[in-house]
Structure 1
Amino acid sequence: MAQIPLSRSAASLKGVCSQDQSRNVAADTLRAFLHSNPTPSLRFYSAQTAPRPDHGGTPDAQPFSQDEQTGYDHWKKQRLANKEFFTSLLSSAATKRDAKAYISRLKSPRKKTPALKSTQSAVPIKAQTTVNVGNLFSRSRAVEQSPVFTQFKDEEQTVEEVETVNVAMVKVNNISAMDDSILAGIAQTLSSLSRLGMVPAVVVEEPAQTDYSVRRELLTQSADRLVTAIEQVSESGARKLDNCFRQGVDGRPEIFLQKLITRPLHQGRIPVIVPLAFSDRDQCVMSITAHDALLALTKDLAGLSFVPTTGGSVTEAVEKGLPLRKQISLDRIIVVDETGCIPSTKSHDQEHVFVNLEQEYSRLQEELRSSTDSGVSQRHASNLKLFKDALRMLPHSASGLLTTPLEAANTARLTDDGPSNVGTRRQKNALIHNLLTDKPAYSSSLPAGRLTQDSTTASATTSTLVKRGMPLTMLPNPDAQVWTAASTPRLKLTDGRIDLDRLVYLIDDSFNRTLDVEAYLKRVNDRIAGVIIAGDYEGGAILTWETPPGVSDDDTSRLVPYLDKFAVLKKSQGAGGVADIVFNAMVRTCFPNGVCWRSRKDNPVNKWYFERSRGTWKIPETNWTMFWTTPGLLDQKSSQTFLDYEAVCRTVQPTWADNKKLVD
């Protein structure tokens, strides 16, 4: 059985977690980083010195003055905000590998500051006293590190931006219907995202109104409410923008002045954008949809709004967008909508925790638009289209997140007031968890039954992670030919539709072993049930029909559906959901009635298999553990099907060429 090797650190992490569930190793990793990196990039507390509550201990001490009391109140408020911030951060860290990946992804490399070429003497900048936590947080980097002014004798003064600002586009729907506590929680989360190095740019949206003036007033009030809520929890604050767009020649909105957006982002301020556009033709301001506004912002911030001039080339237009792409890095699209995650009316899970657009978009749109289920809204289809349109303009690594206001406000849901419940864990904030891990809150290949047993994943079912993803090839196509033991002719690995060399490389890389190709083809080439290939051979599975000992190959009723190889390239393991995509295709599309496989008892990936199988059996007198997804297999443990599964898993011969001595 194929193995997805885990790193030694990840393997040790699993061991630690199994011994002490209360310890969050990912949180320990982040906490250690905060204490060990002396770089001034975030001030935890107000720069104003707050008076101590006991400073009046002398007989002639005077009560606080009004200014002192204001400073002390601000200090207390900031301390509570910091406590909330770090609690959300550390509780949202999923694994040690995720924490390290986040630190590596958002920690900006140091850039050399060009020297000042001037006859004037440089004025030294007074160093600020701050708490040093490294480049993990970048909220105040644009403030702490001033732009570099380069002076030349006969040239104008120029300013060079030295930091890349990581940006998330956020659409918040129906703020007018939210109570103050939910809005305060969303504001706290948005502020935390900014402090974690990803400044959100927020577009507000309200339900459609027949009266334009009513809609405009509603949008303006919603933006004002959100700005006020952010100002109360963020030192950098927010800025309402209601003059960003104009109507383009094609009738679609376009950015009126780019600096209106980029300047607040570089300052760490959160732009709150009202979807209104000025029409040159009608000489009036008109409302636009938040969908169109977000796409216009995405296009502009991605550096794609430049068009070739008359006689110019596309290359010239692309080069014009390069400076902006060096200043702004946009790789998150977030939608906060009370309709929640993308529902599934044709599966037992009832919701999609992860959507691979490349593979699932057309099918999901058809399912959503034709559904009569009361839990399915047309906004689900609209939000899914928004993700598709926006993500295609961004790097392949970009992702989208659809969640509810309640989950976006998770930071405000739990407080330290009142008695605590022993044994309860703080639920993860969907937005912060997505930023730290770029993964769903739980694996999309986990059976629904597993989730109902774990209260910590209860909130995860109201969020959907969306990625452009990768194409998925299933041979033969299950829509045209159901995978059954009686199907003929059977597929061969030498089929022209399969790149055998790349498939072998995938297996060798995943297992860290060398396959004996000739011996392997001799064993499986006449019994292939099907092959699944994810993306550009980033992951895959080979499934076979195995014959139990003593059974004729012609007795198709006794042939066992067997997962012979399950492989993911090392560079893709733990990222992008490759393993989940392949596994879901296998158990939900190709073999919905069940499949079995085996793995060595000491394989560290067995925990992943345990969580996704319906049952396991440690085969006596061997080093193999058998797994299966077949429903009801243990209803009668002595059944012939169970015995056939065990016999196959016990007797299949490995075909490796590396001569490694592994106990079977």
Structure 2
Amino acid sequence: MTQTALTRSTVSLKGYGSLIPNTNIAADVLRAHLLSVSRPAVCSQRLSRPRPYSAQTVVLRPDRPDPAPPVDVETLSQNERHNSLPSRARQRLANKEFFTSLLSSAATKRDAKAFITRLKNPIKTSTSTKPPASVVPTEDQSDVNLGDLFGRSRAMEDSPVFTQFEKESEQSIEEQETLHVALVKISNVSAMSEDILRGIAKTLSSLTRLSMVPCVVLEEPEQLDGTTRRQRLRQTADRLVGAIDYVSEFGGRRLDNVLSFGADGRARVFLRKLLTRPLRRSRIPVVVPIAYSEESQHAVSIAADEAVLALTRELVGLDIKPRMDVPSEHAVEEVKSMRKQISVDRIIVIDETGAIPSTKSIDRKHVFVNLEQEYSAMQEELRSSTDGSVSPKHASNLKLFRDALKLLPHSASGLLTTPLEAANSSRTSDEDVSNVGTRRQKNPLIHNLLTDKPAYSSSLPTRRLGQDRPLSSATNSTFIKRGMPLVMLPHPDVQPWKAAGKPRLKLTDPEIDLDRLTYLIEDSFNRKLDVPAYLKRVNDRIAGVIIAGDYEGGAILTWETPQGASDSDTSRLVPYLDKFAVLKKSQGAGGVADIVFNAMVRTCFPNGVCWRSRKDNPVNKWYFERSRGTWKIPGTNWTMFWTTPGLSDPDKSQTFLDYESVCRNIQPTWADGKKIAD
């Protein structure tokens, strides 16, 4: 996203933004940006002379000069900028940083559209079609500052309202709207610098603007006990709330009386409205992990992880009990209605230990975790590791994600990152990541919200990120999904995928649902498969089959014989990816393709595999990024890909010639009669 796009997007909202202060302004800006991308000629006519977005104080009208002299903010530090500018200019600077970070974090136009679809503007009904007097434009409001669009002022928010009954319209809004919530655990706030804390507060405020209200739980090292520890937790909470108040229109609120112990001894929320009212007002609750015992009437400090799970159970409605004073069928419907009001979409942990380490991947970090497949092995790896970078917090954080995401829908996800990355706004990276000049670092929380993906694909080799040092990582964050099981037949730990291995698996094996596998292939390729002809070609050559989830994705790999070689000469057999398929509904989401591809190249065929694709296949960009090399086969419509190390000289490598021979001569087995090569 360029600065010009940012300017166009923000300017396009000027004319009407002040009339709808409660809409999702971020979504509007993205819509305006997408419109400018799709219709550049029209936008250039309408905005023939866009005014660059400036952080300096500007004169909105000739007859209304600014009360303060302009300040050269580019030469000041971040704190000096905020402290030296008038309030309006400070708000304008904050908006500039917010939208720059927002637009630079939207990886693609497709991601931006998906975000807008997920988080639509709330539609609020009103008994009057006339806008309130407070938002009716006057002559003096012809050029409205974008910073005034983000809801009611704090004075209005904190003003007492004397009413005996809630308005019916307000009740209907609360019942109809879905409140999107991110549960955020922040560790060791007391040790953070003011710059880092304020950066995190700014990121949390940005999530609120993007219609994902954070609910924060504090975690402090257990070095103190009793009253002293509780006092320290409250002081830390006040410090974070103060930072949020400084950068947010709606501010934060400390909650140190929202948890109690249930009859089973488990922490729970004892008064739901104490939690939901700030959330619905877009105020960020900062929950202190203190629970009250109804039996002993004492306040007790509890683990932050326990508090996060208690909040998760409450917000998803698992702890809601039907009322006894209403008929049972009405009570059940009431509980169902309350459960639909709130959607917990993210579990976020901000911890200085950072991403979960890996002893197997090149960059030494887990970028993406599929809990269904990897949890047990990762916990064992963390427990047995002697690496100094591995902390007990990594194992406990991983367990928290597992326990919390179990309570949430499959669409929910988790993110583990460091305070430094969470505080990152729109600053330019000091490192030249791609060797083509500086680029803005993506804030992992904003990027994850917009895309529901990790900062970069987990199947993308580190060398593709332009890293000068192989062990350095482009991110210090781990993206986590409840995920899906992964089946590898035969399992490489039991029977390695070797050319000499016998007996070989067949697609007619009882462990494989051939009908569902066929549907997966046909849905992914959008073509009918000639099943008998395909089985005849591959059934005696199967190296293995990978199946992700409920046949949501999969791969069929074979041992192929190049021309001039014998089937009995296992040294010449080529490991070949015959089919790589993902259901259309799962393409681009959930990491299905990454899960299957990683299993293939890291577990099943770590020494390399080859495949082919039409030269004009749109998926080739994805293949190019993940392969070690490519070759456009002369005289054909095929591009050959491989992951085999050291395969670079086609004139001297017999392996390369064998790969080309296989990719050139395999005959397709489709039933649609089309003559195109695929």
Q: Check if 1:95 corresponds to 2:129.
A: no
Q: Check if 1:86 corresponds to 2:66.
A: no
- 2:86 corresponds to: 73
Look up the equivalent residue of 1:99 and give its one-letter code: A
Residues 150 and 249 of structure 2 are in contact (CA less than 8 Å); yes or no, is this contact kept in structure 1?
no
Look up the equivalent residue of 2:251 and give its one-letter code: G
Inter-partner Cα distance in structure 2 for 1:158 and 1:54: 40
Q: Check if 1:163 corresponds to 2:144.
A: no
Look up the equivalent residue of 1:372 and give its one-letter code: T
Q: Check if 1:448 corresponds to 2:465.
A: no
Given the alignment, which residue of 652, 659, 672 partners 1:638? 652
Residues 57 and 89 of structure 2 are in contact (CA less than 8 Å); yes or no, is this contact kept in structure 1?
no
- 5+ residue gaps, structure 1, are 1-21, 65-69, 117-121, 152-156
Inter-partner Cα distance in structure 1 for 2:456 and 2:294: 48
Relative to 1, partners in 2 of residues 1:529 and 1:223: Cα closer, same or farther, differing over 3 Å?
same
Q: Check if 1:352 corresponds to 2:366.
A: yes
Inter-partner Cα distance in structure 2 for 1:390 and 1:72: 43
Superposed CA deviations along residues 61-100 of structure 1, whole A, max 9, x for unmatched, are 9978xxxxx9992211111111111011011010111000
Q: Secondary structure at the match of 2:559?
A: strand
- 5+ residue gaps, structure 2, are 27-55, 69-82, 138-142
Moved more, 224-233 or 104-113: 104-113
Relative to 1, partners in 2 of residues 1:432 and 1:458: Cα closer, same or farther, differing over 3 Å?
farther
Q: Secondary structure at the match of 1:494?
A: coil
Q: Check if 1:269 corresponds to 2:279.
A: no
Given the alignment, which residue of 575, 588, 593 partners 2:589? 575
Given the alignment, which residue of 273, 288, 299 partners 1:285? 299
Relative to 1, partners in 2 of residues 1:637 and 1:368: Cα closer, same or farther, differing over 3 Å?
farther
Relative to 1, partners in 2 of residues 1:41 and 1:568: Cα closer, same or farther, differing over 3 Å?
farther
Q: Secondary structure at the match of 2:167?
A: strand
Superposed CA deviations along residues 498-556 of structure 1, whole A, max 9, x for unmatched, are 11111111111111111111111111111111111111111110000001112211111
Shift of 1:323: 2.6
Residues 138 and 197 of structure 1 are in contact (CA less than 8 Å); yes or no, is this contact kept in structure 2?
no
Shift of 1:453: 3.4
Relative to 1, partners in 2 of residues 1:275 and 1:543: Cα closer, same or farther, differing over 3 Å?
same
Shift of 1:449: 2.2
- 1:331 corresponds to: 345
Inter-partner Cα distance in structure 2 for 1:172 and 1:212: 21
Residues 354 and 466 of structure 1 are in contact (CA less than 8 Å); yes or no, is this contact kept in structure 2?
yes
Residues 199 and 423 of structure 2 are in contact (CA less than 8 Å); yes or no, is this contact kept in structure 1?
yes
Superposed CA deviations along residues 611-649 of structure 1, whole A, max 9, x for unmatched, are 111111121222211111111222675222111111111
Relative to 1, partners in 2 of residues 1:577 and 1:263: Cα closer, same or farther, differing over 3 Å?
same
Residues 429 and 440 of structure 2 are in contact (CA less than 8 Å); yes or no, is this contact kept in structure 1?
no
Inter-partner Cα distance in structure 2 for 1:210 and 1:282: 21
Superposed CA deviations along residues 552-585 of structure 1, whole A, max 9, x for unmatched, are 1111111110000001111111111110000000
Superposed counterparts of 1:215-294, under 5 Å: 215-294=229-308
- 2:50 corresponds to: none
- 1:535 corresponds to: 549
Q: Secondary structure at the match of 1:193?
A: helix
- 1:128 corresponds to: 135
Residues 520 and 655 of structure 1 are in contact (CA less than 8 Å); yes or no, is this contact kept in structure 2?
yes
Shift of 1:371: 1.1
Residues 478 and 590 of structure 1 are in contact (CA less than 8 Å); yes or no, is this contact kept in structure 2?
yes
Look up the equivalent residue of 2:194 and give its one-letter code: D
Superposed counterparts of 1:486-635, under 5 Å: 486-634=500-648
Inter-partner Cα distance in structure 2 for 1:509 and 1:559: 30
Residues 59 and 66 of structure 2 are in contact (CA less than 8 Å); yes or no, is this contact kept in structure 1?
no
Inter-partner Cα distance in structure 2 for 1:41 and 1:459: 41
Look up the equivalent residue of 1:196 and give its one-letter code: L
- 2:75 corresponds to: none
Look up the equivalent residue of 1:101 and give its one-letter code: A
Q: Check if 1:383 corresponds to 2:409.
A: no
Look up the equivalent residue of 2:519 and give its one-letter code: Y
Relative to 1, partners in 2 of residues 1:204 and 1:179: Cα closer, same or farther, differing over 3 Å?
same
Residues 356 and 478 of structure 2 are in contact (CA less than 8 Å); yes or no, is this contact kept in structure 1?
yes
Q: Secondary structure at the match of 2:382?
A: helix
Shift of 1:608: 0.8
Q: CA RMSD in A?
A: 3.9
Q: Secondary structure at the match of 1:424?
A: coil
Residues 150 and 158 of structure 1 are in contact (CA less than 8 Å); yes or no, is this contact kept in structure 2?
yes
Q: Secondary structure at the match of 1:462?
A: coil
Given the alignment, which residue of 448, 473, 479 partners 1:465? 479
Q: Secondary structure at the match of 1:493?
A: coil
Shift of 1:658: 1.2
Look up the equivalent residue of 2:135 and give its one-letter code: Q
Residues 37 and 133 of structure 1 are in contact (CA less than 8 Å); yes or no, is this contact kept in structure 2?
no
Q: Check if 1:150 corresponds to 2:164.
A: no
Superposed CA deviations along residues 156-181 of structure 1, whole A, max 9, x for unmatched, are x9665242221100000001111000
Inter-partner Cα distance in structure 1 for 2:228 and 2:576: 62
Inter-partner Cα distance in structure 2 for 1:139 and 1:458: 42
Structure number with greater CO (CA < 8 Å, separation at least 6) is 1
Superposed counterparts of 1:369-380, under 5 Å: 369-380=383-394
Residues 322 and 335 of structure 2 are in contact (CA less than 8 Å); yes or no, is this contact kept in structure 1?
no
Inter-partner Cα distance in structure 2 for 1:494 and 1:150: 62
Residues 6 and 100 of structure 2 are in contact (CA less than 8 Å); yes or no, is this contact kept in structure 1?
no
Look up the equivalent residue of 1:539 and give its one-letter code: G
Superposed counterparts of 1:36-51, under 5 Å: 40-42=20-22
Look up the equivalent residue of 1:570 and give its one-letter code: K
Residues 363 and 472 of structure 2 are in contact (CA less than 8 Å); yes or no, is this contact kept in structure 1?
no
Residues 410 and 429 of structure 1 are in contact (CA less than 8 Å); yes or no, is this contact kept in structure 2?
yes
Residues 543 and 557 of structure 2 are in contact (CA less than 8 Å); yes or no, is this contact kept in structure 1?
yes
Superposed CA deviations along residues 387-429 of structure 1, whole A, max 9, x for unmatched, are 011111111100000000000000175599xxxx994211100
Relative to 1, partners in 2 of residues 1:504 and 1:25: Cα closer, same or farther, differing over 3 Å?
farther
Residues 415 and 478 of structure 2 are in contact (CA less than 8 Å); yes or no, is this contact kept in structure 1?
yes
Shift of 1:479: 1.7
Moved more, 477-486 or 581-590: 477-486
Inter-partner Cα distance in structure 1 for 2:94 and 2:61: 24
Inter-partner Cα distance in structure 1 for 2:188 and 2:208: 22
Given the alignment, which residue of 643, 660, 668 partners 1:654? 668
Inter-partner Cα distance in structure 2 for 1:141 and 1:573: 43
- 2:315 corresponds to: 301
- 2:43 corresponds to: none
TM normalised by structure 2 equals: 0.82
Shift of 1:461: 2.1
Inter-partner Cα distance in structure 2 for 1:387 and 1:411: 25
Relative to 1, partners in 2 of residues 1:295 and 1:314: Cα closer, same or farther, differing over 3 Å?
farther
Look up the equivalent residue of 2:302 and give its one-letter code: I
Superposed CA deviations along residues 584-620 of structure 1, whole A, max 9, x for unmatched, are 0000111111111011111121111111111111212
Residues 574 and 662 of structure 2 are in contact (CA less than 8 Å); yes or no, is this contact kept in structure 1?
yes
